[in-house]
Structure 1
Amino acid sequence: MAGPLSKYSFINAKLRARISKILPNELFEELAKAPSIDAALALLRDTPFGGLDETYSQTGDLKQAELDLLRSEIDLYRNIRQYVHQNSAQLLDAMLSQFEIENLKNAIRIYFDRQIRNRSVESSIHYILYDRIVHDVPVDIIVNADSFEEIAGACEGTPYNQIIKKYCRTVESEGSLFRMEIALDHFYYRNLLSSIDRLDRRDRTIALRLTGVEIDLQNINWIIRFKNFYGLPLEAVLAAIVPGGFNLDKTVMGELYTAQNVTSVLQGFVKRKYPALSALLSAQTADSTSRLLLIRRILEEIMKHEVHRILAGYPFTIGITLSYFVLKRNELKKIRTVLNAKYYGIEQERIESMI
């Protein structure tokens, strides 16, 4: 059995070098100040994201540039996978499936808009991926399908076949993809947690901690969506959230969904586990959505805290690999946020608050 040193010394040295090249906050401050999207893209020319300027210059299409970003993110996982020990490879495959599931959901949305809602999808079909990510999912067949039965048949041999079969009638009767998409997301996290369970004890503890914080963030994002767009009753919300959160279990989630004062719900674990973040609890919020956004901000800070904790700790674990992915995801998210903000003319102060 390979020891921690032989499993992680090479890949961790490689990733620490890559972490040092992640775009600094100072550059994002300059991007926020840029007077236009063209000026922002010009600032990225001498970075690994220089190709975005070329794509946008040639097409004038920001969505195509974002698609390039997505491809580069997928390639990032594939590139790292070839260097990790075989014990970690299955976990990276599970993580890579997040992109496949999101792409599948987008393909099904195109089918749904075209076939069920009778809407034009001519523009949408150019902004999804048609190449294999993990499984052989025939995206071209899905977007052009005549029925969910055809989609399920096209997904035969993938983990998604049974989910589509189970929820297709619900989608048609409710006129909404909500339950099917929630089921696909739940599958992703179940598969991810199952892959983590196969790691050795030290790696499993670290991976569960980071993934648990990610699940907390996902659940808070869902709760914001549920509250703003669906108005779901509490029982439906609790049935939809993903189990496995690190700080926020179903009881806390229920309290957050209904509480007028979220500070009282959060202060226990924040002050106990993350005392440096206690000051955030004093922020004033005017409405329920603002309160939930405050929680998301606190959870994002908790994720940063966990990553810094790993990077400063024992180096020969899966933690460096997972932390690198978190840092790269945040970098890419900030690039997307800034470029979209510039494209839509959002003012500098608002952009700075978003990144």
Structure 2
Amino acid sequence: MLHQVDWTALINATAWDGVLSAVKQTPYWDLLKAFTVQNLEQDGLFTLECRLDRFWYDSVMQSTKALSKQDREVATSILLLEIDVRNLTILVRHGWYHHMEAEKLAVLLLPYGSVYASPDTQKYLAQSTEQRSPLPIINRYFPSLEQVQVEQTHLNVHPDEASVLENLKIEGFLAARRQSMYQKLLATDPFTIGLSLAYFFLCKEESTMIKAILNGKYYGYEEEYIRGVLG
């Protein structure tokens, strides 16, 4: 799903109006124009990034309806796997490591897939931030996490540092499982959409590119540096 983003204008934009102009001919414009410079200066990019993510997944799920029955079934199953991994990552990063309140955390979750609909997720959200542990819900979908779990008692580090290492280990595990899923899909029937989607999800998404550019500009990086990061 690609749109007519003026990437050069977006990277070169020196003001928020320039950013909006660069995406004027895309669906992103309606989303971005709801934000002001004052919003971004006060709240940062987090809310904007979350809305871009939600918009992208809503759009791509909607687009599967135009496919043939076989391709629609394949595409939907792949997308739901992707969303499950993403929701697990949200539960770990924001719900456990950053101790986000349940109401805000629930808004971040993408409303599709097994993880979103799971009673375990609702139980997780209902717990206090101090009681939450991401391991049971992740082990339900990827039991091998226990093999790579970082135990604080085995680390000669400060408790805060141990939680950082644990979070990185879990997110790294989820990223590896995600990549493994798509590598397996590369060997599936080449006459369905599955092969194309596997390649697609192993590469960068359009909305990810926009978020990366906005982050670069927000933190004051030079144009050439941003281009280098984007490859």
The TM tier, using the shorter chain, reads 0.5 to 0.7
Tell me which residue corresponds to 1:144: 129
RMSD: 4.0
Distance change in 2, residues 1:145/1:89 (3 Å): farther
Tell me which residue corresponds to 1:349: 224
Amino acid aligned to 2:51: D
* Aligned: 1:107 with 2:91: yes
Tell me which residue corresponds to 2:28: 49
For the 8 Å contact 2:186–2:195, the answer to whether it is kept is no
Shift of 1:331: 2.4
For the 8 Å contact 1:44–1:50, the answer to whether it is kept is yes
For the 8 Å contact 2:71–2:193, the answer to whether it is kept is no
TM-score, length of structure 2 as denominator length: 0.67
For the 8 Å contact 2:186–2:198, the answer to whether it is kept is no
More divergent stretch after superposition (175-184 vs 335-344)? 175-184
Mark the structure with the bigger radius of gyration.
1
For the 8 Å contact 1:99–1:133, the answer to whether it is kept is yes
For the 8 Å contact 1:32–1:351, the answer to whether it is kept is yes
For the 8 Å contact 1:69–1:332, the answer to whether it is kept is yes
Percent sequence identity over aligned pairs: 20
Tell me which residue corresponds to 1:33: 12
TM-score, length of structure 1 as denominator length: 0.47
Shift of 1:38: 4.1
Shift of 1:189: 3.5
Give the number of equivalent residue pairs.
Answer: 208
For the 8 Å contact 2:20–2:32, the answer to whether it is kept is yes
Distance change in 2, residues 1:84/1:193 (3 Å): farther
Amino acid aligned to 1:182: G
Cα deviations by residue, 1:107-160 (Å, 9 ceiling, x for unpaired): 22345436xxxxx656xx569623433112426247736153x861x568x514
Cα deviations by residue, 1:156-186 (Å, 9 ceiling, x for unpaired): 8x514x355x259634444222443333233
Three-state SS of the structure 2 residue aligned to 1:55 is: coil
For the 8 Å contact 1:111–1:145, the answer to whether it is kept is no
Tell me which residue corresponds to 1:220: none
Three-state SS of the structure 2 residue aligned to 1:170 is: coil
Counterparts of residues 78-227 of structure 1 (less than 5 Å): 78-82=61-65, 83-86=67-70, 89-90=73-74, 92-113=76-97, 121=100, 125=104, 129-135=108-114, 136-137=117-118, 138=121, 140-141=125-126, 144=129, 146-148=131-133, 152=136, 158-160=140-142, 162-163=143-144, 166=146, 170-173=150-153, 174=155, 175=162, 176-177=165-166, 178-194=168-184, 197=187, 199-200=188-189, 202-203=190-191
For the 8 Å contact 1:97–1:133, the answer to whether it is kept is no
Tell me which residue corresponds to 1:339: 214
For the 8 Å contact 1:94–1:191, the answer to whether it is kept is no
Amino acid aligned to 1:37: W
Tell me which residue corresponds to 2:158: none
Cα deviations by residue, 1:186-220 (Å, 9 ceiling, x for unpaired): 333444455555x43x34xxxxxxxxxxxxxxxxx
Tell me which residue corresponds to 2:159: none
Distance change in 2, residues 1:47/1:77 (3 Å): closer
Three-state SS of the structure 1 residue aligned to 2:24 is: coil
Shift of 1:79: 2.0
Distance change in 2, residues 1:349/1:66 (3 Å): same
Amino acid aligned to 1:184: L
Query: Partners of 2:202 and 2:186 in 1: how far apart?
Result: 20
Counterparts of residues 297-336 of structure 1 (less than 5 Å): 318=193, 321-322=196-197, 325=200, 329-336=204-211
